Amino acid sequence: MGSERTQGPVWAREAARRRTTLTREAIVAAAIKVADAEGVDAVSIRRVATELGARAMSLYTHIERKEDLLDLMSDEARAKTLVEGELPGDWREAISAVARCTREAIRRHPWLVDLVSRRVNVGPNGLRHGEQSLAALSPLRIAPEWKLRIIAAVDDYALGFVIREVMQRETPRRYAWTEAERDALMRPYLRELIDSGEFPHLAPLLTDGTPGADGENGADDTAGDDFERGLRWMLDGIARDLLLD
């Protein structure tokens, strides 16, 4: 097996054609199922083979190494970042729709947070996301490099927001806590900090305990409102800065 530098990205390499009932698509789907249930660290060629009822070696017919599988999983999940149908005509509504899809894709596949931080390859769906983002900004009569800056800002906002959502939701699950158990553990510690007088500005926010983790219905509603408000604030600022109104 050659290195990625000599072989190029996995999407540019056609899977070997041999007699097998497996397909690359089935392998990727099984790997995503494992990651959704247990996290990306649970994904391995052997584990995915077990899910498919196949021998590990048979998977190598289609995917040469785990790193390729992670790239394929990431790009497949990024298909959910694409807005279906036509984009709204207004640039703010269009780029907001893209941002909402980005958030929902990562909420659906929280392991994408891990892969985004470790994997730099951009596959077909990643490129489609960039193309659609540029299409969303096509009504703007500004230089292409400024459109790229807007896209980067919107992507960074959506990614940063949903990383915090995923962390709040997944941490209790990772440590096998319920939300109530987590709050019971944290409350004495927070009370000690508040009583020290060192955190007068944080004290009003911490008095009633830590905010509930996202994932419950009420918290989801609040997080959605916060996401929309923050996105609106950011786009308002971009519009003022670039005189787009």
| Each residue's pLDDT tens digit, 143-169 | 999 999 999 999 999 999 998 888 877
pLDDT digits (tens, 9 = 90+) for 37-57: 999 999 999 999 999 999 989
In a domain, 172, yes or no: no
Percent of the chain with pLDDT over 90: 54
**Residue 132 located in a structural domain:** no
- Using CA atoms, how far residue 215 sits from 38, 107, 153, in Å, is 17, 10, 26
In a domain, 166, yes or no: no
The domain of 50 spans 4-70
pLDDT at position 137: 96
Q: Does residue 167 fall inside a structural domain? A: no
pLDDT tens digit string along 126-146? Answer: 999 999 999 999 999 999 999
pLDDT for 167-207, tens place per residue? 877 666 666 677 777 777 778 888 888 888 888 888 888 76
| 11 inside domain | yes
Q: SS3 helix, strand, coil % of the chain, rounded to 5?
A: 70, 0, 30
Specify if 8 maps to a domain: yes
**Residue 31 in domain:** yes
CATH of the domain at 29: 1.10.10.60
pTM (two decimals): 0.79
The rounded distance, in Å, linking the Cα atoms of 111 and 100 is 18
Predicted confidence (pLDDT) per residue in 70-127, tens digit? 999 999 999 999 999 999 999 999 999 999 999 999 999 999 988 887 766 778 999 9
Residue 45 lies in a domain: yes
Domain count along the chain: 1
